[in-house]
Chain A
Amino acid sequence: MTENQTETGSNAAESASGSLDIGGLAGVFGTSDHKNIGRLYIFFGLSGGLLALILNILVRFERINIGSVGVLDFGSSNQFFQTWSLSRTTLLFFCVLPLLIGLASYIVPLQVGAPSLSFPRAAALAFWAWVIGIMIHVVTVFTDGGLGEPDPISQFAQGMDPEATELSMLSIAMVVFALLLGTVCVLATIISQRPQGMTLFELPLFSWSMLIAGGIWVLALPVWLSNLAISWVDFQGADALRYGAVENIWDQLSWLWSQPMIFAFAIPVLGIAGDVIPVSSGVPQRQYRVQQIAIGAMGALSFGAFVQPFFNPDVANQAVFVVMGILIILPILVFLGGLADTSIRGNLSISAHLILSVVGVLALLVAAVASAFHVSGPAIGAIQEINDSWLDGLISWLRDVQGTVLATAVMEHVLIASVIGIIAGLYYWAPKIFGYQLNRNVGILSALTLLGGLALSGGSNIINGILDEGDEVYHSSAYEGVWDSNAVEFFNIVGAIGSILLLAGIGLVILDLTISVILRKGNDENVKDPWGGHTLEWATDSPPPTGNFTDAPVVDNERPLLFPAATGGDEQ
C-alpha cells in the first residue's frame, strides 16, 4: 500500500471477498483495520469507564462523615488525592476520549465513504500505545505515584514514591500523545477521504462534530503536554522552578478538567444526537447549516488552553473567561432547538438511542447552565460597576462559589453527558459495529439509571457548591466554612448513591453488550439498516466488509440515503 493506505485494484477485490480477514489473536494484535481498532477502543474504553466510576464511588464515600466517623478512610490526604486525581484522569483518558476516538475510528470512514481510516497502521500504533500507557499510569498511581501530592511535608511518611511519580508523568504523556495520533488519523480521514461531491458542509453531523472536537484537541492537548514536560524536567532536577514540586504538578495540569476546556470533550455528543434524532423522526434534519454552526461555535467557546489558573490566578475574573462560560449555553440551546424542530415535524420512534441521546444533550445543557452560574460573579460585578451597589451580597456569594465543588459538578456533568452520548451512539450503531442490535429495554433502563445517577451525583455537587464545600475535597479545609455541615453530609450521601447509579448504568450497557454481542443473543436480523438511516454508513453491510464499499459512493448532500446524489438535498 502507499502511504495513503487506500485500497485499489486487486487489493479491493481481495477485500470484497473477505480473504484478508485474519481472526484470533493475530487479528486482534496485528490489525490495522479501522473496524477492529474501533471495537478494541470501545471494549477498553468501557472498562476504563467502570474503573473511573468505581474510583469515583470511593471518593464519594470518603467525603461522607456520619457523625465524626468517616465511611471510608484513605489514611492520608495524599492517598485520597491519588484516588481523586486518578478518577479524573481515568474518566477522561481511559474512558471518554478513547470511546470517542474508537467510535469515530469505526464510524467516520463509513460516514465519509472511505475504504479505511487514514494511516491505519498509525491508528493501530496509537491504540496500543494508549493501552500500554494507561495501564502503566494506573499501576504507577496504585504504587504511590500519581500526578503530585497535596501534602508534600509528609510525602515520604505517606508513601509517595518519586520514581513511580515520574513514571506516572511519562505514561500519561504517552497516553495523550497516542490519543493525539489517533485523533489526527480521524481528522485526516474526514478531510481527505471524502467522496466526490461531499463538501465539509455535507458531512454527517457526527463526523462534523469530530472534526471540530478533534481540531480543538489537537490545539489544546499539546499545550497540556508542554505543562507536563516542564513539570517532568523540574521534577528530575531539584525543583528550581517549583512546577515539578509535588504540590504543584496537579495544579498546573488541572485546567484540562475545568471550564471552558472540559466542554471540548463533549462536542461529539451533539453530533451523535444530530445523527440519531432525525433518523428516529424519519425526516431530514432542518436547518442543517445552523446545526453545524452551533457545533462549530461550541468548539470555539471550549478552547481553554489559555485558561490556566496556576499561571493566572485572576483568570476567573477576566472578561474572556466569563463570556465564554456564559455563552457556552447558546450553541447547545440552538442545537437542541433544531433537534426539537425536526422531531416535532417527524414521527418520533422511541428507541434506546433516542432517549440516551436526548439525555446526553440535556445533561450537557445542565452543565452549561452550571458553568454560567459558576462564572456569573464577575459578570454581575461588571453590571454593578455600571449600576449601584445593591448587588454586593449576591456578587460576594457568587465569587465564593468559584472555588467550590460546583467546578466538579460542571466537569462531572460534561464528562457523563459525553459518556451517555457515546452509549447512545453505541446503541444506534451497534448493528453496524457488531452485527447485532442491542436490547432496547436495557438501553432505556440504562438511560434512566444514568440520568438518575447524574441528577443525584452532579446535582449534589451543585448544591454542595452553593453550600460552599471546597473543590479540593481531599483537604480538610474544603469543609471549613460550609453553611450547613449536616446538609453537606446529607448531599454527599446522596452523591454517593448517584455514583453507584452511574456505575450501574454503565454496568447495564456492558451486560447488554456481553449478552447481545459476545454471547450472540442479540437480534441479528435486518441489521444492515434497521433504523432507516440517512447517512452513508447504512449503505453497506453490517458489519461492513474489508474495504467498506464495493463502489466509491458519490454524494451531493448530507443525507445521501434519503436523497441519492441525482436528486440533491434541496427539499427544504
Chain B
Amino acid sequence: MNMATTNLPAAPPARSRNLLVSVGFGIAAVLMYFGGLFGVYLRERSQVRSVGGSWIPDKAHIELTPPGMIIWTLLISIAVMQWAVYSIKRDDRQHALLAVGTTLAMGAMVLVQHGWQLSQMNLVADEGPTTAATLIYTIVGSYMVAFVIGMIFVALMGFRALAGQYSSRQTDGIVAASLYWYCLVFIYFIIWIAVFIAK
C-alpha cells in the first residue's frame, strides 16, 4: 500500500485563482463607481423634488418600454450565461459556446435599445441642459462603457473556451466573465428602478 502511494506522481500545485480574484476586485471597483454616481443622482433628485420642482423636464420622453425590454433581456441573459458555466463545467464546449454567443447577441440587443432610447429621450433638445440630463447621460453612458467592456470580456473568454483553454478542470475564465455579467445586470436593475421607474 505504501509502495503504491509513494509511486504516485506528485499532486499538481493548487490552481491559481488569479482571474477570479482580480475580477472580484474589478466588480468591487465598478460597484463603487456606480455607487458614487447613484449617490449624487439621488441627492440632486431629492433636492429638486423637495422644493416642488420637476426632476425630469416636461418635454422629455422617458418611456418605460425600452428600459423594461432591457431589464428583461438582461434577466434572461443571466440564465443564458449560467448555462455557459453549467456546460463548461461538464465539458460540453458546444453548448457553452452557444450560450456565450447567445449572451453576446443579447448584449448587442441591449446596446441597440440603449442607443434608441437615448435618441428618443429628448432630455436636452427642447428645454436646454438640465441637472437630470447631465446625470442620466453620465450614468447611462458609463453603464454602456462598462457593458461594452463586459461584452469584450465574455467574447474573449468564449474564444479561449473555443481554443480549448477552459474545461471542467479549469472553468475560471467563463465563471469570471459570468460574475462580471451578473454585476452588470445588477447595476442596470438599480438604474431601471432609480432612474427610469422612480424618475
Write the residues of chain A forming the contact surface with B, with a CB cutoff of 8 angstroms.
2-6, 118-119, 180, 184-185, 187-188, 191-193, 196, 215, 218-227, 229-230, 233-234, 237-241, 244, 305, 311, 552
Q: Which residue of A lies closest to B129 (CB)?
A: A240
Write the residues of chain B forming the contact surface with A, with a CB cutoff of 8 angstroms.
13-14, 16-22, 25-26, 28-30, 32-37, 39-40, 43-44, 124, 128-131, 133-135, 137-138, 141-142, 160, 165, 172-173
Shortest distance between the CB of A119 and any CB in chain B (Å):
7
Interchain CB contact under 8 A, A6 and B16:
yes
Q: A226-B33, A230-B37 are in contact. Are A185 and B43 (CB under 8 A)?
A: no
Interchain CB contact under 8 A, B36 and A227:
yes
Q: A2-B165, A230-B37 are in contact. Are A241 and B135 (CB under 8 A)?
A: yes
Interchain CB contact under 8 A, A230 and B138:
yes
Q: Which residues of B contact A233 (CB under 8 A)?
A: 134, 137-138, 141
Shortest distance between the CB of B73 and any CB in chain A (Å):
25
A180 to B25, CA, bound (A): 10
A5 to B36, CA, bound (A): 33
Interchain CB contact under 8 A, A230 and B25:
no
Shortest distance between the CB of B84 and any CB in chain A (Å):
17
Interchain CB contact under 8 A, A226 and B134:
no
Q: Which residues of B contact A218 (CB under 8 A)?
A: 25, 28-29, 32
A215 to B172, CA, bound (A): 22
Q: Which residues of A contact B142 (CB under 8 A)?
A: 226, 229
Q: Which residues of A contact B29 (CB under 8 A)?
A: 180, 184, 218-219, 221-222
A319 to B35, CA, bound (A): 22
**What are 14 A-B residue pairs whose CB atoms fall within 8 Å in the complex?**
A119-B22, A180-B29, A184-B26, A184-B29, A192-B17, A226-B33, A226-B40, A229-B138, A229-B142, A233-B137, A234-B134, A240-B129, A240-B134, A552-B13
Q: Which residues of A contact B130 (CB under 8 A)?
A: 240
Q: Which residue of B lies closest to A227 (CB)?
A: B36
Q: Which residue of A lies closest to B43 (CB)?
A: A311
Given contacts A240-B133, A305-B32, 6 further A-B contacts (CB under 8 A): A184-B22, A184-B26, A191-B17, A223-B33, A233-B137, A233-B138
Shortest distance between the CB of A146 and any CB in chain B (Å):
21
A138 to B43, CA, bound (A): 33
Interchain CB contact under 8 A, B19 and A3:
yes
Q: Which residues of A contact B133 (CB under 8 A)?
A: 237, 240
Interchain CB contact under 8 A, A241 and B131:
yes
Q: Determine chain B's interface SS by DSSP, over half rule.
A: helix
Interchain CB contact under 8 A, B34 and A3:
no
Shortest distance between the CB of A448 and any CB in chain B (Å):
39
Interchain CB contact under 8 A, B26 and A241:
no
Q: Which residue of B lies closest to A177 (CB)?
A: B29
Partner of A187, one of B22, B135, B173: B22
Q: Which residues of B contact A187 (CB under 8 A)?
A: 21-22, 25
A77 to B183, CA, bound (A): 45
Q: Which residues of A contact B141 (CB under 8 A)?
A: 233
Q: Which residue of A lies closest to B38 (CB)?
A: A226
Interchain CB contact under 8 A, B137 and A191:
no
Q: Which residues of A contact B165 (CB under 8 A)?
A: 2-3
Q: A196-B13, A240-B133 are in contact. Are A226 and B36 (CB under 8 A)?
A: yes
Most-contacted residue by chain B among A6, A192, A220, A225 (CB, 10 A): A192
A191 to B14, CA, bound (A): 13
Q: Which residues of A contact B17 (CB under 8 A)?
A: 191-192
Shortest distance between the CB of B197 and any CB in chain A (Å):
22
Q: Which residues of A contact B40 (CB under 8 A)?
A: 226-227, 230, 311
Q: Which residue of B lies closest to A189 (CB)?
A: B18
Q: Which residues of A contact B22 (CB under 8 A)?
A: 118-119, 184-185, 187-188
A222 to B134, CA, bound (A): 19
Shortest distance between the CB of A4 and any CB in chain B (Å):
5
A184 to B14, CA, bound (A): 21
A234 to B17, CA, bound (A): 40
Interchain CB contact under 8 A, A223 and B21:
no
Q: Which residues of B contact A192 (CB under 8 A)?
A: 16-18, 20-21
Q: Which residues of A contact B35 (CB under 8 A)?
A: 223, 226
Q: Which residues of A contact B135 (CB under 8 A)?
A: 230, 241
Interchain CB contact under 8 A, B32 and A219:
yes
A3 to B156, CA, bound (A): 11
Q: Which residue of B lies closest to A190 (CB)?
A: B21
Interchain CB contact under 8 A, A184 and B33:
no
A305 to B29, CA, bound (A): 12
Shortest distance between the CB of B118 and any CB in chain A (Å):
13
Interchain CB contact under 8 A, B25 and A188:
yes
Q: Which residues of A contact B128 (CB under 8 A)?
A: 238, 240
Q: Which residues of B contact A188 (CB under 8 A)?
A: 18, 21-22, 25
Q: Which residues of B contact A225 (CB under 8 A)?
A: 33, 36
Interchain CB contact under 8 A, B33 and A3:
no
Q: A2-B165, A230-B40, A241-B44 are in contact. Are A223 and B32 (CB under 8 A)?
A: yes
Q: Which residues of B contact A2 (CB under 8 A)?
A: 165
Interchain CB contact under 8 A, A193 and B138:
no
Q: Which residue of B lies closest to A188 (CB)?
A: B22
Shortest distance between the CB of A197 and any CB in chain B (Å):
11
Q: Which residue of A lies closest to B137 (CB)?
A: A233
Interchain CB contact under 8 A, A226 and B44:
no
6 A-B pairs with least C-beta separation: A226-B36, A240-B129, A222-B33, A223-B36, A222-B32, A188-B22
